[in-house]
Amino acid sequence: MLLDDRQLNQASSREPSKIVSILYAPIGVRAYHLHEMGKSWVPTAPEQARGASSIEVQSLSVDYFVSNLPRIILKNTLMKRWFPVETVVSSYSIEGENVTIELNQRQTIEGVGRFEIGGKLSRPLSFLDGDAVLEVTMTDYFGFGRKLRIYHDGHSEAKLGLQHSERFNPVTCIACDGVRERFLYRCNRTDIQMATIYLRDPSSLYSLANPDIDAQTRPLIQDLRPDFVLGVNPVRTLEWTILDHGSAYDHGTIGAEVAYLVASKMLMTDQLLMLEPAMRGSDLVSRDRRIAVEARMLAGVKPKTAACVRREAGPHLKQMMGRLRWGLSRKVFKRGVAILCLRLREREIIALVKEA
């Protein structure tokens, strides 16, 4: 089907674009195409449009793209207990530069069924591998941004892609527990990773106490020589479930959340930023980058002897202190703190605090 520039110029929208929407009639199939500028252009019709006798063409605006996105059904293929069996991306809206995506968890998590993902447009509507692409930047409680893309060709299923380094990987499921939004995304056929966006202060998920270091516990940790020892109590059952059944990433997230609470109180500051546990570097830093905190959670360690603690926890603490001392020696930051969480018993967690 041959289109000339005059036909394309007749298609009007408040946001002209080289990306066009073509309706293949009378079949009713719509497809998005990238208009190759020139006197004439032959778009490749999708297979579903075979037999169409006429077309309607218009420039594709962001508003039109968003208003015509279909629902997306995301499946918890890993069967993680803190994700719903299924999440439905039910609707989308845009107001100015702000994009809102509404989702519905088919299984409530901590009382949350419906929730929203919000973000700002990162770039103009683009076209990639047969799909129009809308890119938004989500900003979390700590001010960090993560980019999310929505892909749609006008007639097939829409897809979500989450930024990881320089790539955007397919999102397989999204969950919300009221404090965090968690994304499962596929890196390859066998590797599914997780990312966390914080909606609120995660320190509300835990309480701290001065633990009763009894005669049985004291010998277990004395070889690690912590400066302080604090008892940690998760407020909800969800965090215990994650500790019982989670991956190293899940445990690292909880370790960083506990460290955020401990360090904020110990250093008497509200200026700490919690970084994504999957990223390299310190787990927490102050806004002025003068303080760095290394955090770790050893959820599977339920030591019975001091030798077990030395074997399991000792190398972790040594590595954490080594990283902090390296940063201090090179003046990367001025103060470094290691916070190592140990699960001593089934429902007992302590945080060992040691300053470098």
Length of the chain: 356
49 band by pLDDT with thresholds 50, 70 and 90 = confident
Per cent of the chain over pLDDT 70 is 90
3-state percent breakdown (helix, strand, coil) of the chain, nearest 5:
20, 45, 35
Whether pLDDT at 151 is above 80: yes
For the stretch 263-272, pLDDT in tens is 999 888 889 9
Tell me which of 5-9, 223-227, 258-262 is least confident.
5-9
Whether pLDDT at 11 is above 80: no
248-266 and 237-245 are packed helices; what angle lies between their axes, rounded to 10 degrees? 130
Burial class (CB in 10 A: 0-12, 13-18, 19+), 324: buried
Question: In this predicted structure, what is the pLDDT of residue 209?
Answer: 86
Whether pLDDT at 159 is above 90: yes
38 band by pLDDT with thresholds 50, 70 and 90 = low
Euclidean distance between the first and the last CA atom of the chain, given in angstroms as a whole number? 70
Whether pLDDT at 215 is above 70: no
* Distance (Å, whole) CA 234 – CA 347: 9
Tell me which of 157-166, 170-179, 338-347 is least confident.
338-347
